[in-house]
Amino acid sequence: MRRRFTSLGILSMFLMGSLAYAQVKGVLKDSNGFPMDEVEVIVTRTGASVFTDVEGNFNVDAKVGDILKIIDSNGEEKTIKVTSTTLGEVKFTTKASDNIELGTVNIIGGIKLDPAQKVGSYTIVSRDNFENTPVSSIDEVLNGRVAGLNYSTASGDPGSSNMILIRGVGSILGTPNPLYVIDGIVVGKGADNASLMESWNPLSSIDPNMIENVTVLKDASATALYGARGANGVIVVTTKKGKYGQTPRFNFSSDMAIQDIAFDKINMMNASQYHQYGGQTYFNSQQALGQTFSSLEEATNQFIKNNDPNWDGKTETNWRKAVQRNQSFVNTYNFSVTGGTNGISYRAGVTYYKNKPLIQTTDFDRKSAILAFDQKITDNLKYGFSLNYTGVKRKTIPDANASANPWLSSLFIPTTKSIYNPDGTYNQTNLGEVTAGFNPIGNLHNNYLKGKIDTYLGSFTAEYKFLKYLTFNTVFGGQRQLMDEVVWWNPNFGDGIAQNGFMQTGETHIWDWNWTNTLSFKKKFNDLHDLEFSIGSDYQDHEYKLRQKQGRDFSEPIPDFQYSDPEKYIDVDRGAGYFFKWRQDSYFSRLSYIYDNKYTLTGQVRYDRISVLPKKNRGGVFWSVAGSWDLGKEKFLKGSSVVDNLILRGSYGRLGNVPFADMWGRQYDYYALVASSTTTPYPYGDNYYASISSPGNANLDWEISKQLDVGFEVNLYKKALGLIFSYYDKQTEGALFSAVTKPESGNPSSYTANVADISNKGFEITLTSTPVNKDFKWDINANFSRNINKIEKLNIEDEIYEYSQLNALAGGKLLGEYYTWLWAGPNNDPNVGELGVGSWYTDASRTTITTDKSKAEKVWLDKSAFPKYMAGITNTFSYKGLSLSVMFSGQFDFYVNNGYHSFFFNDGNFPGRNQITDAMDYWTPENTDAANPKPQLNNPNSSRLESDRWIRKGDHIRLKEVKLAYSFGDKFKQQTGVKNLTLYAKGFNLWTYAFDKDLNFDPESISNAWSFMGKGVFNYTTPIMKSFSIGMSLDF
């Protein structure tokens, strides 16, 4: 049933009485046999009404002989007589049945992916999963719910960017994210457009409560009509609309959540451990110090004298807790009205979302409003529009930059250091090896980084049917984003000290709009042949503008100002501006033929022309074909007591992609560009000069993605068990990346070219089951997928591209594969070298070791930062109005690494910085089986630096969501006049199990979301959060 929520006090008053009433149950389906959700069912005798859930189920207080009136989304009515308390399946067949769009996916210009055609690989996530969730971005909800979709995030700070991969990485330049489409308007790939903040996810400007459903398109038959931008998958967001013929329905919902770190096993040394470790470091470094110690105690005392001369013997500061709030919370309030007449439907709503994150002074505030209107002027003509506004204000921290990041620097500082001096001022000098002036508490309260973004999204649609079989559809709309960012560094704190105060502002304007026109012919011949043919055009335009100003040397600190104020504070000494624009015009057609409702064949072709490629290569033709066979309608399976239906399907397509269309500056990669210097004279004279900054590439061309998808869908035992299986093979040819120029050319070292081939091969399984389907109901929804992502060819001069000291690209290797030195542990062989220092295997055979890293080879580990296996399972238990759902997600067979291991596990290199407690297991003559080498000043053999010592298995299982809800029965609704009342308690990211006992950071964290290179790297950004919430929803 439709889930809505309220407070627990009312539940205790009405629970027993509500459960006592029997109800009439039924399942509402359309003429094709697909569930009809959100359809109102009214008991004409009493006026009681309910809405069907996502599976078409309804339960209403009625008795045998009552008449039920059903009104669908088109305003069509049907009445049925109650003959039993269990009505079973109710088919909704009216003159408008052909127009019922529930269960279909509107992909482009009125062209739909109809489940009746049984072609295409896609997953629909319903609104119930988005409503009243304590998340800042809708893509967080998809994690674990869609087979083949991989989720990771750059930070737990609300509004930060996420990485979403559908069936692996198909492009190694630019963002690997899919294309996002909202109400028919293409809005890009979730690219991070922040100019000053570490990251900002534009999808955080979409209110989850406004979503009707989200459809994830995966294969070529589903994405081909999006042409050049759909090769990495497409996510179609449909916002809520009104209902024809529905009396006004008001909804108010409220949610309150508390938050904490989801997975936290990072334990820093206390004062005693820090001093012990430092003393051991000094004891092992007597020659380097030029001192001799007769005992470890003497060395420890010297360490304290050098590093903690002012320690009072009692100070034990928990710096991590000091930068955190006592309580992090999220509040959400939502109000909407939905209704309509026979010819009009409307919906209006507002939402307020307030998130007080983990770190002090940070903030995320979102206000949203939506207005949707549709009108059927005649049976042949209808139009509608949707307007969305979202205003986000965010105050955050630098999630990088070492000491400037308060969360990171709070880990660097030993617990022996105090936050404040005796006179109450901030301790700015006695911070260990953290740079003077970078007290993280002082930075938090005196420096800031904040921004606001206003997003306006609107679309207009119109549809006209004429000559009986022809339909013209037009969709026009766009998205406008206005972003203002401000960074302020106080002259007395952090980075502001060196510049005597610093301020910078960024003003970003982004404009996306597109116009799609489609003409479709649809007719059924002789009750056997269903034919649909469409042709259309699509125009897209993207414009990006950025203006920055900065100033420094402030005579005194300035107040925390509003966004209109900076101009009066900044004496601008430097500015910058950027302007990028690209256009794409496209023409497409689609043919669908169904014979006898059993055999389906579809084909589509699209021509794209995009401005970011050289003129000779701007145009590209892309296509796909698909077919299916519904064996369940064949005579040999009809009437089977086991098999309800069995469908075989397959598709193949050739798609294009230009991955840098959403990136700064890459729009001009095919040009030869010149940069001029106005600050640095030419080395052989006093004049300023110009130089080639990019040699350009006149042969730059499309990436080509060839995609095969085959599978089947089966339902068994009266649909008690359902299985969907897909196998895919996605080959990207001519992937864009950096090619190396010849030194004698005098050009910059690299340029963009089509140099790589990439493959993604795998399978997906989706399982649905209803083991119990009586008053008590148990539903299971599970998915499992496998993907192998490889670089098949890399046509560059060195054949290996090392993008970090741990990872590299090369032909025949996994994407994101680790390529580094093999750690052999502390040395215990005097014939090899000094005892207790770090050692490495010399090669992949692992037969000999060395304490000299320069004598060891880098090797390929056959381990990747990208999961090979992913899974999710949801169990939902319901009894009358009470329901409990439990969801787990998991990612398996992948590896991650700590980007700051060399600082927190530094083997004595930085004695003035605190260390992770795991470092206490170090080599001594009495502890030769230790995990870590003996600590020595300056770490002379570089054991702290990169090797597979720092690589951890990322496999994990996460209790993603638990929800307990109660919806009150019709008796309560009749007595109060309330149409629906639901209370709930909900948990999000409640528990995480890591298979590697040494993994101490969240395996879903990444260093950045704009490139695949950030995958698997943890840079001590703000941690991912878990939450527990209670809430209510009231319909009246």
- Average pLDDT, integer, range 24-46: 72
Q: How confident is the model at residue 9, as a pLDDT?
A: 39
Reported as a pLDDT band with limits 50, 70 and 90, residue 974 is: confident
Lowest mean pLDDT among 189-203, 408-422, 716-730: 189-203
Regarding predicted confidence, which is higher, 796 or 926?
Answer: 926
Lowest mean pLDDT among 53-67, 325-339, 764-778: 53-67
| pLDDT, tens only, 508-563 | 998 988 999 999 999 999 989 999 999 999 999 988 898 888 888 876 666 554 44
Could you please report the per-residue DSSP string of 90-104? EEE--TTGGG--TT-
| pLDDT, tens only, 644-690 | 889 999 999 999 888 776 655 566 677 677 666 555 555 555 555 56
The residue type at 538:
D
Residues 6+ apart with CB under 8 A from 759: 729, 730, 731, 732, 788, 789, 790, 792
Measure CA of the first residue to CA of the last residue in the chain; give whole Å.
16
CA distance 159 to 155: 9
CA distance 793 to 895: 23
- Average pLDDT, integer, range 146-166: 87
Alpha-carbon distance values, 713 to 628, 768, 963 (Å): 10, 11, 29
* pLDDT at residue 17 tops 50: no
Cα 245–chain centre separation? 37
- Average pLDDT, integer, range 470-484: 93
Hey, which bits of 37-81 come out as E strands?
A: 40-43, 49-51, 57-60, 67-71, 77-81
Q: Tell me if residue 795 falls in helix, strand or coil.
A: coil
Beta-bridge partners for 165: 150
Reported as a pLDDT band with limits 50, 70 and 90, residue 813 is: very high
- Average pLDDT, integer, range 994-1016: 88
| Phi, psi for residue 52 in degrees, rounded to 5 | -70, 150
Would you state the structure tokens that stand for residue 74, as one six-digit string? 């088109």
- The residue behind tokens 């023409």 is 587
- The residue behind tokens 């660097």 is 412
CA distance 394 to 355: 10
Beta-bridge partners for 514: 477, 540
Reported as a pLDDT band with limits 50, 70 and 90, residue 931 is: very high
Beta-bridge partners for 820: 859
Among candidates 908, 996, 927, which has minimal Cα distance to 279? 908
* pLDDT at residue 204 tops 90: no
Q: How confident is the model at residue 25, as a pLDDT?
A: 74
Q: How confident is the model at residue 129, as a pLDDT?
A: 87
Domain map (residue ranges) of the chain: 8-103
The residue type at 602:
T
Decide: residue 535, CB within 10 A, 0-12 exposed, 13-18 middle, 19+ buried.
middle
Lowest mean pLDDT among 273-287, 819-833, 895-909: 895-909
Regarding predicted confidence, which is higher, 70 or 422?
Answer: 422
The segment with the largest mean pLDDT, out of 46-55, 66-75, 311-320, 393-402, is 311-320
CA distance 675 to 57: 65
CATH fold label, 8-103: Immunoglobulin-like (2.60.40)
Cβ-based neighbour number of residue 530 at 10 Å: 18
Question: What secondary structure, in 3-state letters, does 350-398 show?
Answer: EEEEEEECCECCCEEEEEEEEEEEEEECCCCEEEEEEEEEEEEEEEECC
Reported as a pLDDT band with limits 50, 70 and 90, residue 1 is: very low
- Average pLDDT, integer, range 781-804: 91
The residue type at 14:
F
Residues 6+ apart with CB under 8 A from 838: 823, 825, 826, 827, 851, 907, 933, 941, 942, 943
> What is the average pLDDT value for the chain, to the nearest integer?
85
pLDDT above 70 covers a percentage of the chain that reads: 86
Q: How confident is the model at residue 504, as a pLDDT?
A: 87
- Average pLDDT, integer, range 313-333: 94
Q: Which helix (DSSP H) or strand (DSSP E) does residue 792 occupy?
A: strand 776-794
The residue type at 1016:
G
Could you please report the per-residue DSSP string of 155-175? -SSTT--EEEEESS---SSS-
pLDDT above 90 covers a percentage of the chain that reads: 51
Decide: residue 15, CB within 10 A, 0-12 exposed, 13-18 middle, 19+ buried.
middle
| CB contact burial 480-499 (16+ within 10 A = b; e otherwise) | bbebbbbbbbbbbbbbbbee
CA 872-994-132 angle, to 5 degrees, is 45
- Average pLDDT, integer, range 235-257: 89
- Average pLDDT, integer, range 237-248: 86
Hey, which bits of 66-148 come out as E strands?
A: 67-71, 77-81, 86-92, 105-108, 111-113, 122-126
The segment with the largest mean pLDDT, out of 258-272, 675-689, 974-988, is 258-272
CA distance 277 to 290: 19
Ramachandran quadrant class, 596 (left: phi over 0; alpha: psi -120 to 50; beta: rest): left
Would you state the structure tokens that stand for residue 127, as one six-digit string? 């609104």
Reported as a pLDDT band with limits 50, 70 and 90, residue 28 is: confident
CA distance 160 to 235: 19
Q: Following CA atoms 442, 446, 449, 454 in sequence, which dihedral angle do they give, to the nearest 10 degrees? A: 130
Question: What secondary structure, in 3-state letters, does 410-470 show?
Answer: HHHCCCCCCCECCCCCECCCCCCCCCCCCCHHHHHHHCEEEEEEEEEEEEEEEEEEECCCE
Q: How confident is the model at residue 88, as a pLDDT?
A: 59
Q: How confident is the model at residue 89, as a pLDDT?
A: 60
- Are 757 and 790 a contacting pair, CB within 8 Å? no
CA distance 171 to 178: 11
* pLDDT at residue 469 tops 80: yes
Residues 6+ apart with CB under 8 A from 495: 401, 404, 447, 489, 502
- Average pLDDT, integer, range 27-51: 72
Beta-bridge partners for 639: none
Q: Is the dihedral of CA 157, 160, 166, 172 positive or negative?
A: negative
Q: Tell me if residue 866 falls in helix, strand or coil.
A: coil
- Are 828 and 928 a contacting pair, CB within 8 Å? yes
